[in-house]
Amino acid sequence: MNSHEIDYQIFGEEMQYVELELDPREAVIAEAGNFMMMESGISMNTIFGDGSKQNEGFLGKVLGAGKRLLTGESLFMTIFSNEVQGKKKVSFASPYPGKIIPIDLTKYNGKFICQKDAFLCAAKGVSIGIEFSRKLGRGFFGGEGFIMQKIEGDGMAFVHSGGTMARKELKPGEKINVDTGCIIGFTQDISYDIEFVGGIKNTIFGGEGLFFASLTGPGIVYVQSLPFSRLANRVLQAAPQGGGKDKGEGSLLGGLGDVLSGDNRF
């Protein structure tokens, strides 16, 4: 194996974290901001790119970092290495309520495609790159642009989802339609496209957007019930204007209370 072989355990229900057990000289890579805790003896270092091309010289490092720049991620990642004798543990937490999904890349022919913000951490040697869409429509209407993230290698990787996770195993030719933001990821054999919802009433009054993702088997699809973008939009909609407390909150009057109190300014 090119990737380090690591053991893991996932804790929690709604706000999960994953604990990775590292043997001497084993290491994991992670996105900045996902670290939770680690035992003494583990070193933490910032690396250029994802660390999968460290033996290919400066050019390999630049190529790895360049892929991350195209996905809108930082040029740098953090590597956690066990530098002492004996097993040591390091933990990473999901950034918002949901589930952590372990991905054994050896069971998916060495490749898994996911939303660009779904990656949490992986064994050192796993490559975090970009998956270009071949169809123009995906770039304009897919919600994530032309690019999704691809995780490649022969080790363990971990992605996170929002809300409740659904795992769908599609047979050859079997098709499901999914809100573009609700896709966590899928195996490389899945055919992915963007389709127009259709219908004047659906377009104007549907409230679900004009396009959805069409996913066709064979393969496995992971779907999330609460994308972070949807959660953020609901929070912004519920936030009171001007940063003050909404006096109508929880009442039948709603915003009318502000009008009567003179708080609304036109």
pLDDT above 50 for 144: no
pLDDT above 50 for 259: no
Give the tens place of pLDDT for each residue, 54-76. Answer: 555 555 555 555 555 555 555 67
pLDDT above 70 for 224: yes
What is the pLDDT averaged over residues 85-90? Answer: 94
Q: What are phi and psi for residue 85, nearest 5 degrees?
A: -80, 145
User: Tell me, what's the pLDDT at 121?
Assistant: 93
DSSP result, 43-80: EEEEEETTSTTGGGHHHHHHHHHHHHHHTT--SEEEEE
Q: Read off the tokens for 18.
A: 């994953």
Give the tens place of pLDDT for each residue, 233-247. Answer: 667 777 776 555 555
Please say whether the beta carbons of 153 and 109 come within 8 A: no
C-alpha span between 254 and 65 (Å, rounded): 49
Mean of per-residue pLDDT scores for the chain: 77
Among the residue ranges 101-105, 120-124, 252-256, the one predicted with the least confidence is: 252-256
Of 51-55, 86-90, 258-262, the range with the highest mean pLDDT is 86-90
Please say whether the beta carbons of 158 and 102 come within 8 A: yes
Label residue 266 by pLDDT band (50, 70, 90): very low
pLDDT above 60 for 53: no
| Domain boundaries along the sequence of the chain | 7-235
C-alpha span between 68 and 48 (Å, rounded): 10
What is the pLDDT averaged over residues 35-49? Answer: 88
pLDDT above 90 for 22: yes
pLDDT above 90 for 102: yes
* pTM for this model (two decimals): 0.76
Label residue 250 by pLDDT band (50, 70, 90): very low
CA atoms within 13 A on the CB side of 251: 10
Q: What are phi and psi for residue 163, nearest 5 degrees?
A: 75, -135
User: Tell me, what's the pLDDT at 62?
Assistant: 57
pLDDT above 90 for 48: no
CATH architecture for segment(s) 7-235 = 4-Layer Sandwich (3.60)
Label residue 140 by pLDDT band (50, 70, 90): very low
Q: Read off the tokens for 54.
A: 């460290």
Please say whether the beta carbons of 126 and 152 come within 8 A: yes
User: Tell me, what's the pLDDT at 240?
Assistant: 73
User: Tell me, what's the pLDDT at 107?
Assistant: 93
pLDDT above 80 for 223: yes
User: Tell me, what's the pLDDT at 142?
Assistant: 47
